[in-house]
Structure 1
Amino acid sequence: MKKTIIFSSLFATGFILLGGTQASFAEETVNGSANGQGATSYGSIELTPDSDSGTDPLVPTTPSGKTGNVGELTIDNVSPFVFGTQRLTGKKATYYSTTTDGNVQVTDKRGTGVGWTLQVRSTDFIDSQNSSNILKGAQVTIPVGTVSSDDGNSSTAPTASEVSLNETDTTIFKAAAQSGLGSWVDKFDGTDNESKVSIEIPAGSMKGSYVSTITWTLADAPK
């Protein structure tokens, strides 16, 4: 099973039931003591995956990257990469995304701990007014982000990687087995340019209003 989103740039004790398997604790009855002055009881809880609701972004981006996805394993937020209006200088130049709090968010509500992998790819930047005009050699790079979750998340964190976008799926965020449960954010909008999404424009580029499609693919196991 894969989940794909496309976005264009511009305490209780007792027994637990998971995946249909019951694990019973030793005591599931109420018992008194021999002297009549003690007793034991029990607590119980059943946990099942939530497949009927979505998860809001823990760190909303501006402009919005909320996907509205619903299910047990979802991509909840994917940042648009907005580089604004820039002047041609005749030389190679690097520009940085103006998106605020850029990030991608994944939520795993399956409760199985099998892990997951998020990959990303992009198309060429094509002039929205003239499809034959391609921004040749343009390179978008997503830096290694800061990984975070809800306060108190007991799961081991997934790992984030730097990615240079092209037409091949490349892993940007990955949860090994027994990690990445709950909601996790890979935030790539730091205080300096090295921690922001960038685009490198080669010398000799033509004027135009260019757009690329960024495709995010979430697989339900580590790769």
Structure 2
Amino acid sequence: MKKTIILTSAIVLTSLAMGAQAAHAESTVPFDSKATFEFKTEDPENPEVNPPVDKDKPVTPPTGQKGLLAIDAVSSFNFGSATISGGETKANAAIPAGETLGIQVTDKRGTGAGWNVQAKISDFKDKTDDKKILKGATVMIPVGTFITTAGGDTEAAPTASNAQGTVIGTAETQLITAAKDTGLGSWVNDWAGDVELTIPGGNLVGNYEAAITWTLIDTPTGTK
């Protein structure tokens, strides 16, 4: 009788031990599953117009440009009017109600190649007499503030090419630089009310106008 009891106990204990080993083995065997995702550009043959970075305070007018790399919008400047004085005259561009002054660029290439914005300005000519020129007039574009869309990589912003601001002239001048792996997505360089016109003394009265040409180049060095 004792042998029977001992034998039965041994069988039970062995079964429990084997069960424990099996459970232990199942909990330590790893298995890898996979997660996949493809990130691709939009169809370059059917690109979309990019929306404003800040719908409550957009840059206008929109350019209507489409593509993986585009200037979406860039401001015109209204410097108002001033009375002739004996010396230099300065004026700041007015900010339209509900807007800001600046430029918006979008890079959807997904390559991190970088880009560059250049600008040049024609002579200020009188609207009724194009032989009358606002001699020596210059426009200074400030460093401004770089703003991107919600969730954008704020640590990889473009930069102003000149840390003191840039005076644009009749030759193309580098204004904004997006170095390698920066400037991806949509970015606004917000100039607020700091775009400044400087007019030296000795000019004639008139109603003057100039054209500003903005060029976006697909390298950070600014060379085509």
Where on the TM-score scale, by shorter chain, does this alignment land: which range?
Answer: 0.7 to 0.9
In structure 1, the residue corresponding to 2:156 is in which secondary structure?
coil
Q: Please state how far the C-alpha of 1:203 moved relative to its aligned partner.
A: 1.2
- Equivalent-residue separation in structure 1 for 2:195 and 2:59 (angstroms): 15
Matched, 1:85 2:71: no
What is the letter of the counterpart of residue 69 of structure 1? Q
Match of 2:197 in 1: 199
Shift of 1:40: 4.5
- 1:35 Cα deviation (Å)? 4.0
Deviations 1:118-176 (A, max 9, x none): 11111000111111111011111111111111122136111013210111111111111
Check whether the contact 2:52–2:58 (CA below 8 A) recurs between aligned residues: no
Are 1:179 and 2:182 an aligned pair? yes
Q: Is 1:156 the counterpart of 2:156 in the alignment?
A: yes
Distance (whole Å) between structure 1 residues aligned to residue 121 and residue 145 of structure 2: 22
Aligned to 1:216: 214
Q: Secondary structure at the match of 2:50?
A: coil
The residue aligned with 2:21 is: none
**Unmatched runs of 5 consecutive residues or more in structure 1:** 1-33, 191-195
Within the alignment, does 1:53 sit opposite 2:48 as a pair? yes
Alignment partner of 2:70 out of 58, 69, 74 = 74
Whole-angstrom distance in 1 between the partners of 2:40 and 2:58: 34
Q: How far is the alpha carbon of 1:86 from its aligned partner?
A: 2.2
Counterparts of 1:107 and 1:40 in 2: how far apart (Å)? 38
**How well do the aligned residues superpose, as a CA RMSD in angstroms?**
2.2
> Of residues 41, 49, 56 in structure 1, which corresponds to 2:33?
41
In 1: Cα distance, 2:95 partner to 2:72 partner: 17
Q: Quick one: distance in 1 between partners of 2:54 and 2:80?
A: 22
Contact 1:62–1:99, Cα closer than 8 Å, also in 2: no
Identity %: 38
Q: Counterparts of 1:47 and 1:123 in 2: how far apart (Å)?
A: 42
Q: Report the equivalent of 1:114.
A: 113
Rg (Cα) greater in structure: 2
Task: Supply the distance in 1 between the matched residues of 2:60 and 2:216 (Cα, whole angstroms).
Answer: 20
Match for 2:201: what amino acid? A
Following TM superposition, by how much is the alpha carbon of 1:62 offset from its aligned partner in structure 2, in angstroms? Answer: 7.7
Unaligned ranges ≥5, structure 2: 1-24
Cα distance change on mapping 1:130 and 1:47 into 2, 3 Å: same
Tell me the TM-score normalized by structure 2.
0.76
